[in-house]
Amino acid sequence: MLLGLHHVTAFAGDARTNLDFYTQVMGLRLIKRTVNFDDPGTYHFYFGDAEGTPGSILTFFPWPTAPPRRNGAGQAAGVSFSIPRNALDAWIDRLKRAGVGVVHRAYRFEQEFIEFSDPHGLKIELFASAPESDDPSILRLHSPTLCEAVEERTAEILRNTLGFSCVSREGDRTRFDLLSVRDQSANRLHTSSTLDILSMPGVERGRISSGVVHHIAWRVADEVEQLQWRAKLIDAGLRVTRVIDRQYFKSIYFREPGGVLFEIATDGPGFFVDEPELGVSLKLPPWLEPIRESIERRLPEI
């Protein structure tokens, strides 16, 4: 069983700007400063709650020389978070003080939210969906949106293979949820199991760049379940990677029929595996330690 969202990964522009915005403006903790294991000359920043809880995590690959962005079909449309129901006004004030330009306020599926963009153009949504609190901080990820030219193919995989149910429709948007997860109220405090499809027939495919989501990751409890999912996805006709060691979790990747990259990631071993205090220093996996000096020379100063 999928346990809900694990993390979302996106591309940023300048590393320092990305780091400052998500720690100082968005109030997230830098839980890991490492590199893209597939391209070690690039940082990989992990942001989340104080403990690096799966379901709270947003990660970035800074890409200052990225080509022009084109939003379109086959992409995830930005990143959404859950905040306390009484926190919207506090966030609007906070964003204005930080110089964030345009903040839209709206409703979606009867939940109020605000929408704005980060310094590199990534759309961010803050949903007033969690219990009221004196602390307005971001609690977890909320509901990724898949932009699809052909909604039906993706919807079929969500329902028949991944275990989602269609729970609501609103205009050209359809909401899916993992009902088995939604019924576990304790789990919902930290992990969202909601996903939207935005139908965009005839729209040109998007182009990956800075300010664009790279992939959406879903949680499984352990490596045994992950292997079971890998076999199930292959049986469904999807092309799935081998299991890849990401140091803090194990991963498999596949693309849903519309083109959005999905990951299934284990909860463990977690972010404390290589440092007792999260986000303090540049951490490399054992197989990259022998070339640490070369990697550090290539990385920009932050």
Residues 103-153: tens digit of each pLDDT: 999 999 999 999 999 999 999 999 999 999 999 999 999 999 999 999 999
Average pLDDT over residues 12-24: 98
* pLDDT at residue 144, as a whole number: 98
Say if residue 61's pLDDT is above 80.
Answer: yes
pLDDT class for 180, splitting at 50, 70, 90?
confident
Enumerate the domain spans of the chain.
5-298
Kindly indicate the confidence band of residue 296, based on its pLDDT and cuts at 50, 70 and 90.
very high
219-237 pLDDT, tens digit per residue, is 999 999 999 999 999 999 9
Mean pLDDT of the chain: 95
CATH placement of domain 5-298 = 3.10.180.10
State the Cα–Cα distance between residues 257 and 222, nearest whole angstrom.
26
> Does 185 score more than 90 pLDDT?
no
At residue 184, the pLDDT reads 56
